[in-house]
Amino acid sequence: MNAGGHRRWVRICHWLVAASFLTLAVSGFFILMAHPRLYLGHVGNDLTPALLTLPISNNYRPGELQRSVVFTEIPGTPISAERNFAIFNQNGWGRSLHFLAAWILVLVGALYAAIGLVGGHIRRDLMPRELTRRALLQDLKDHLLPRVGSASPGLPYGLLQKLAYVTVMFIALPLMVLTGLTMSPAVTAAYPILLDLFGGYQTARTIHFFGFAALVLFLLVHLAMVVATGFGRQLRTMTWGN
Partner 1 sequence: MKQQSPMPRRAFIKGLASSAGVLLAGCSQTEPPTYGHVLRMGDLLTYKAHRLLLPAHSLAREYDYADISSVPAIGTTNPADPAKSSFSQEHGPVYERLLATRFEDWRLVVEGSVTRPRAFSLDELKRMASRTQITRHTCEEGWSAIAQWTGVPLRTVLEAVGVRTSARFVQYYAYDGWRDGIDMLDALHPQTILAYGMNGRDLPISHGAPLRLRVEKQLGYKSMKFLRRIVVTDHFDDHGRAGLIQNGWSWYAGI
Per CB under 8 A, 34 contacts partner 1: yes
Selection from 166, 154, 92 nearest residue 129 by Cα: 166
CA–CA distance, 74 with 61 (Å, rounded to integer): 26
Residue from the set 187, 214, 226, 228 that interacts with partner 1 by CB under 8 A: 187
Query: How far are the Cα atoms of 35, 67, 83 from residue 87, in angstroms, in the given order?
Result: 9, 18, 9
Rounded least distance, CB 36 to partner 1, Å = 8
Comparison of 25 and 31: residue with beta carbon closer to partner 1: 31
Q: Which of 3, 55, 68, 150 binds partner 1 (CB under 8 A)?
A: 68
Q: At what angle do helices 201-228 and 8-34 cross, to 10 degrees?
A: 130
Task: Give the x/- contact pattern for partner 1 in 204-233, rule: CB under 8 A.
Answer: -x----------------------------
Is residue 142 within 8 Å of 173, Cβ to Cβ?
A: no
Any contact of residue 84 with partner 1 (CB under 8 A)? yes
Q: What character string, x for contact with partner 1 (CB under 8 A) and - otherwise, covers 35-54?
A: x-x----xxxxxxx------
Q: Does 97 bind partner 1 (CB under 8 A)?
A: yes
- Residue among 27, 5, 1, 2 nearest 125 (CA): 5
Determine if the peptide bond prior to 36 is cis (ω within 30°).
no
User: Would you tell me which residues interact with partner 1 (CB under 8 A)?
Assistant: 31-32, 34-35, 37, 42-48, 59, 65, 68-69, 71-72, 78-84, 86-87, 89, 91-93, 95-97, 99-100, 103, 183-190, 192, 195, 201-202, 205
